[in-house]
Amino acid sequence: MKREQWNSRVGFILAAVGSAIGLGNIWRFPYMAYDNGGGAFFIPYLFAMLTAGIPFMIMEFSLGHKFRQTSPQIFAKLGNSIGIKLEWLGWFQVFIAAVIAVYYVAIIGWTISYLGFSFSQSWGDNPNQFFFQDYLKLGNNSPSSLGDFQAGIAISMTLAWTMTSIAILSGVKSGIERASKIMMPLLFIMVLVLIVRVLMLPGALSGLNYLFEPDFSRLLDTSVWSAAYGQIFFTLSVGFAIMLAYSSYLPSKADINNNAFMTVLINCGFSILAGILVFGVLGYMAEQQMKPLTEVVSSGIGLAFVTIPTAINLMPAPYILGPLFFTALVIAGLSSHISIIEAVTSAVIDKLNISRKMAGAIVCGTGYLVSMAFATNGGLLLLDLVDYFINNIALLLSCLIELLVIAWLLKIAILRQHANQRSEFKIGAWWEICLRFISPTILCAILLKNLYTTLVEGYGDYPIADQLFLGWGLIGTMLFFAILINAVGKKDSFPTDEYK
Ligand code: PHE
Ligand code: NA
Q: What is the maximum alpha-carbon separation in the chain? A: 69
Tell me, in angstroms, the distance from the centre of ligand 1 to residue 19's CA. 6
Q: Are 26 and 274 contacting, i.e. CB atoms less than 8 angstroms apart?
A: yes
Nearest ligand 1 atom to alpha carbon 339: 9
Q: Where does the pLDDT of residue 27 fall: very low under 50, low under 70, confident under 90, or very high at 90 and above?
A: confident
Say if residue 140's pLDDT is above 80.
no
| Integer Cα distance of 304 and 430 in angstroms | 39
| Integer Cα distance of 254 and 252 in angstroms | 6
| Helix H or strand E encompassing 415 | helix 413-421
| Integer Cα distance of 479 and 239 in angstroms | 15
The runs of H, that is alpha helices, within 71-177 are 71-82, 87-118, 127-129, 151-170
CB count within 10 Å of CB 48 equals 25
| Integer Cα distance of 417 and 374 in angstroms | 45
pLDDT average, residue stretch 131-144? 86
Least confident of 3-12, 29-38, 414-423: 29-38
| Integer Cα distance of 60 and 244 in angstroms | 6
φ, ψ dihedrals at 98, nearest 5°: -65, -40
Q: What local confidence, expressed as pLDDT, does residue 236 receive?
A: 96
CB count within 10 Å of CB 37 equals 24
Substitution site in 237, 263, 264 for ligand 1 pocket (most atoms within 8 Å of beta carbon): 237
Nearest ligand 1 atom to alpha carbon 337: 11
pTM of this prediction exceeds 0.90 = yes
Substitution site in 29, 232, 234 for ligand 1 pocket (most atoms within 8 Å of beta carbon): 234
Tell me, in angstroms, the distance from the centre of ligand 1 to residue 23's CA. 7
Ligand closest to 271 (CA) is 2
Q: What ipTM was estimated for this complex?
A: 0.95
Q: Nearest 10 degrees: CA dihedral of 413, 495, 63, 258?
A: 80
Taking the alpha carbons of 164, 167, 170, 172 in that order, is the dihedral positive or negative?
negative
| Integer Cα distance of 23 and 259 in angstroms | 22
294, exposed or middle or buried, with CB in 10 Å at 0-12, 13-18, 19+?
exposed
Residues at CB less than 6 angstroms from ligand 1? 19-20, 22-25, 100, 104, 234-235, 237, 336, 339-340
Instruction: Give domain limits for the chain.
Output: 9-488
Residues 6+ apart with CB under 8 A from 181: 10, 11, 14
Say if residue 496's pLDDT is above 70.
no
| Integer Cα distance of 34 and 307 in angstroms | 16
- CATH number listed for the domain at residues 9-488: 1.20.1740
What's CA 237's distance to the chain center, in Å? 5
Ligand closest to 28 (CA) is 1
Least confident of 180-194, 210-224, 315-329, 362-376: 210-224
Ligand closest to 102 (CA) is 1
Nearest ligand 1 atom to alpha carbon 242: 9
Say if residue 493's pLDDT is above 70.
no
Nearest ligand 1 atom to alpha carbon 333: 12
- What is the Rg, in whole angstroms, of the alpha carbon atoms belonging to the chain? 22
| Integer Cα distance of 109 and 102 in angstroms | 11
